[in-house]
Amino acid sequence: MIDAVQAKAPKPIRLSAQVFLGAILFVAACAELPYRQPGERTAELPAGKGLIQFAAPATGDTPVRRVQYTDNEQRIDCALYRGGGAQAEFIYMERPYLLNVAFNFSYTIRDKVEAWNFSRGQAARWGEAVRVRTDLGLMFFRPYRLTGLNRECIGVSGEWDMAVEDTSSRYTRILFGYYCAPPGEVLADADKRSLVRRLAIRDLSLSGNDNAAPIATFYNDVEAHFGGPGAGRRALRAARGTDTPTGAGIGEFPFRYAEYYFNDNDKCTSSSPC
């Protein structure tokens, strides 16, 4: 088993004159919002808020815990579903509309499954990855069995909305997680495909266009439920599963995979230095 993947801190960025001017114009255009840099915030949200939606016969459609993190470049939704002996956890991350940010996400389904507290350190037998078409777009799942816990599971992953001006061809939406059936229950292939198709993002169905949420609404859930620095730290620990270990959470949260990218007009040259 690999060690838990370490989060990558964004590299220092030097803004060119073009990017800086573009940022000023963008902020000016949104002045009536009013626009402001929100900084880092983490909040535990009511079950009916947030982004990830999922429904399974065992767990139902209501998460037992939902935590959301936001900063100037991204928002990250974390949802835990548990019931009837089954458990599922998912992460969804996206950028605000028009921001030159993409996610430096190079991990496999197995990489991320082994980072969740539920399966970390557990012996597993892995099957082959399968591609499934969903309302969100193409997704992949990989079946595995936690032999010591006698559980059949699937790990899932999807990436959408490639940043077309990013020379590294990275994506601006990432979804990953897992579902584990109750001990001893067998998951048929049709069951696994159905579970993947039950995943959704609130108010979103991808169509090949950039569907990123506008700044005006991007931070609404966290701002409405942020209880101050102390509550934010408690929400962060809940997402990581460090306060009261319950076989849930992921220690890497909030990941910090977001990185700025530059198009050809933003490059520094001898005639146009940064």
Per-residue pLDDT reduced to its tens digit, 50-88: 999 999 999 999 999 999 999 999 999 999 999 999 999
User: Residue 19's closest CA among 269, 261, 212?
Assistant: 261
**What percentage of the chain reaches a pLDDT higher than 90?**
69
CA distances from 97 to 100, 106, 226, 238 (A): 9, 23, 22, 28
Cα gap 228→41, rounded to integer Å: 9
pLDDT for position 27: 40
Nearest alpha carbon to residue 208 among 137, 152, 260: 137
Higher-pLDDT residue of 120, 207 = 120
- Evaluate if residue 44 carries a pLDDT over 80: yes
Mean pLDDT value across residues 109-130: 97
Q: 76: phi > 0 → left, psi -120 to 50 → alpha, else beta; which?
A: beta
The reported pLDDT for the residue numbered 213 is 64
pLDDT in tens, 236-268: 999 999 976 679 999 999 999 999 998 766 554
Q: Please list, in sequence order, all residues whose beta carbon lies within 8 angstroms of the beta carbon of residue 30, skipping any fewer than 6 positions away.
A: 215, 216
Residue 121: how many CB atoms within 10 A of its CB? 9
Instruction: Report CA torsion sign: 172, 56, 47, 78.
Output: negative
Does residue 12 lie within any of the structural domains?
A: no
Does residue 11 surpass a pLDDT of 90?
Answer: no
**Least confident window among 55-64, 92-101, 132-141, 256-265:** 256-265
- Report the pLDDT value the prediction gives residue 212, as an integer from 0 to 100: 56
**pLDDT at 13 > cutoff 60:** no
Predicted local distance difference test score (pLDDT) of residue 2: 35
User: Contact, 213 vs 173, CB < 8 A?
Assistant: no
Whether the per-residue pLDDT at 18 is higher than 60: the answer is no
What are the tokens at 247?
């076989």
Considering its fold, how many domains does the chain have in total? 1
Average pLDDT over residues 113-124: 96
* 97 pLDDT tier (thresholds 50, 70, 90): confident
- Domain assignment present for residue 7? The answer is no
- Determine, yes or no, domain membership for 6: no
Could you tell me if residue 211 is inside a domain? yes
The string of pLDDT tens digits covering residues 213-225 is 666 688 889 999 9
Whether the ω angle into residue 143 lies within 30 degrees of 0, i.e. cis, is no
Dihedral pair phi/psi, residue 61, rounded to 5°: -110, 10
Nearest to 195 by CA among 90, 56, 61, 53: 56
Tokens (6 digits) for 24? 């000023």
pLDDT of residue 243: 77
- Report if residue 274 sits inside a domain: no
pLDDT of 111 over the 90 cut: yes
pLDDT band at 201 (very low <50, low <70, confident <90, very high): very high
Query: How many C-beta atoms lie closer than 10 Å to residue 101's C-beta?
Result: 22
Closest CA relative to residue 202, chosen from 115, 92, 106, 116: 92
- 5 within some domain: no
Q: What is the DSSP letter of 95?
A: P
Residue 2 is assigned to a structural domain of this protein: no
Q: For residue 203, is pLDDT > 70?
A: yes
Q: Of the candidates 148, 127, 145, 157, which has an alpha carbon nearest to the alpha carbon of residue 181?
A: 145
Q: Considering the domain boundaries, does residue 253 fall inside one?
A: yes
5-9, 33-37, 67-71, 217-221: which has the highest mean pLDDT? 67-71
List the domain range (segments joined by +) for residue 101: 17-265
Question: Residue length, the chain?
Answer: 274
